[in-house]
Structure 1
């Protein structure tokens, strides 16, 4: 158990992009000694703050760690009937809210540290994303890279495609069209990505499609490439305007993807008493 308060722990864990679960007592029934609203944070082997100790806290930590291990992304409520089974000397019930926090919703590789890349990466760094920013030119990176962003300088940029996990997001905006084509071939060749966006015009897309088909790529794979990328509703050619458009598309994509699944626990309406239901 760490002596750090739950709110300080959340801030520090977010800075480190470390997932955790915030546990809150949302309902107390019966003559139990715990305080509604008490919170603790569970992260790895550490507990931050307390919801009153005892077997209930131990059980809550166990559930939170199971959620971390399974990658749960949705909050859940659990009702605990207090008594001998939870080491309590009296009856009653406690309802706990488990909220997953800090887990990256997308792991993103951004290729290119030019004007648009320098506008885009700080936006992505402020989202629940883990960002690897890749370029062969050390001098193109800003002096201070946003917190939580991994700067990668590699003369063989295409090698970095294979270092990303399955389900990653790829954004290509380099200074070199032949390099863009090689990156496109490497990314599409994996075909296990969640999103691939390539900066450029419709004419650039047409040229790349032709060359990729010549290399033997199937049309259904090439069609997964977003080019032009970004939200069409966001107009403008300034680097920040393009960056906002691309960031908006990334947000829309991971929200749609992770919103498809609901995990574990009972609904709030079923667990809270009638007086608390909306």
Structure 2
């Protein structure tokens, strides 16, 4: 899935690089169509899987960076020559991502581009683009007659994480690489955040986070896990007043019983208070920060899958 914002950020950080994406799969293969990695001269990000396949593609991408070639299509049987036993075959599209490429991105994404040969854009691809732009029909990634088209990442779930302690850091580590989440991370001071924060995460030091919560988007999801019970309570109060899609609070059953009484005392109705989930995560996994983060991430991803399967997902 093409993510223009992420591509732009990486050009700003690393300069030109090669994006390698799985365009076709036949038989058994390490990754699905659309799996991608970014390769620059002294590093890379993402994976197309396969060990030897990825190593070979990475070396070819760096060689491409040192050439004038802007795009190419390569086909790889996954057999003894690559030291793999998948038995299938993979076609890769490699494209140079730089200021020139970014300038070709139209406002009415998605878009198709020629990556191999000289054929005109296939009529079926032209039709699919028109349907996507005019009627919002989904685009399926495919390579056809040397032209490559894929979905464009646009919609994200706004997730606000309140607290940069051990659990907050573990959650961000798990969720930041996932393109479906737009993460906003809040704590009371810059010093409470780690030295390195993923580029995709907006972090906000706020002296009074509860005041900021009063301005959060009403379609956001929230995870409250600060260092202070008083701050947690203030955030619950502010978010119940503001409105939200979902909210989770870290804590024990005893903490939640106490919070329910205090939130009711300041005027919140019981049915609204119970929209907050406490405790969060999966207690069966234990209390280690990474275990809590795994439980939370699984719940968020399962919720999306369940809603999507019922056709009811709105955010």
Q: Is the 8 A contact 1:64 1:98 kept in 2?
A: no
Structure 2 equivalent of residue 52 of structure 1: 120
Change (3 A) 1:137 1:101: same
Which residues of 2 match residues 130-209 of structure 1 at below 5 A?
130-191=182-243, 193-209=244-260
1:248-269 per-position Cα deviation (integer Å, ceiling 9, x unaligned): 1211222223333289xxxxxx
Which residues of 2 match residues 1-278 of structure 1 at below 5 A?
10=2, 14=6, 44-45=107-108, 47-50=111-114, 52-53=120-121, 58-66=126-134, 100-127=151-178, 128-191=180-243, 193-233=244-284, 235-261=285-311
**2:276, 2:201 → 1: CA distance?**
24
Per-residue deviation, 1:242: 1.1
How many pairs align?
217
Per-residue deviation, 1:12: 5.5
**2:105, 2:124 → 1: CA distance?**
14
Q: Is the 8 A contact 1:236 1:242 kept in 2?
A: yes
Per-residue deviation, 1:122: 1.5
**2:158, 2:122 → 1: CA distance?**
38
Structure 2 equivalent of residue 3 of structure 1: none
- Which secondary structure state, in structure 1, belongs to the residue aligned with residue 203 of structure 2? strand
In structure 2, stretches of 5+ residues that fail to align are 10-20, 25-90, 96-103
**2:8, 2:248 → 1: CA distance?**
27
Structure 2 equivalent of residue 29 of structure 1: none
What is the TM-score with the length of structure 1 in the denominator? 0.65
Per-residue deviation, 1:42: 7.4
Change (3 A) 1:98 1:165: farther
What is the TM-score with the length of structure 2 in the denominator? 0.58
Structure 1 equivalent of residue 86 of structure 2: none
**1:261, 1:250 → 2: CA distance?**
17
Per-residue deviation, 1:202: 0.4
Per-residue deviation, 1:59: 4.1
Q: Is the 8 A contact 1:199 1:228 kept in 2?
A: yes
Change (3 A) 1:164 1:52: farther
1:153-195 per-position Cα deviation (integer Å, ceiling 9, x unaligned): 111212332443232110000011111111001112233x222
Change (3 A) 1:229 1:43: farther
**2:121, 2:155 → 1: CA distance?**
30
CA RMSD after TM alignment: 3.8
Per-residue deviation, 1:238: 1.2
Larger RCO: 1 or 2 (CA < 8 Å, sep 6+): 1
- Which secondary structure state, in structure 2, belongs to the residue aligned with residue 134 of structure 1? strand
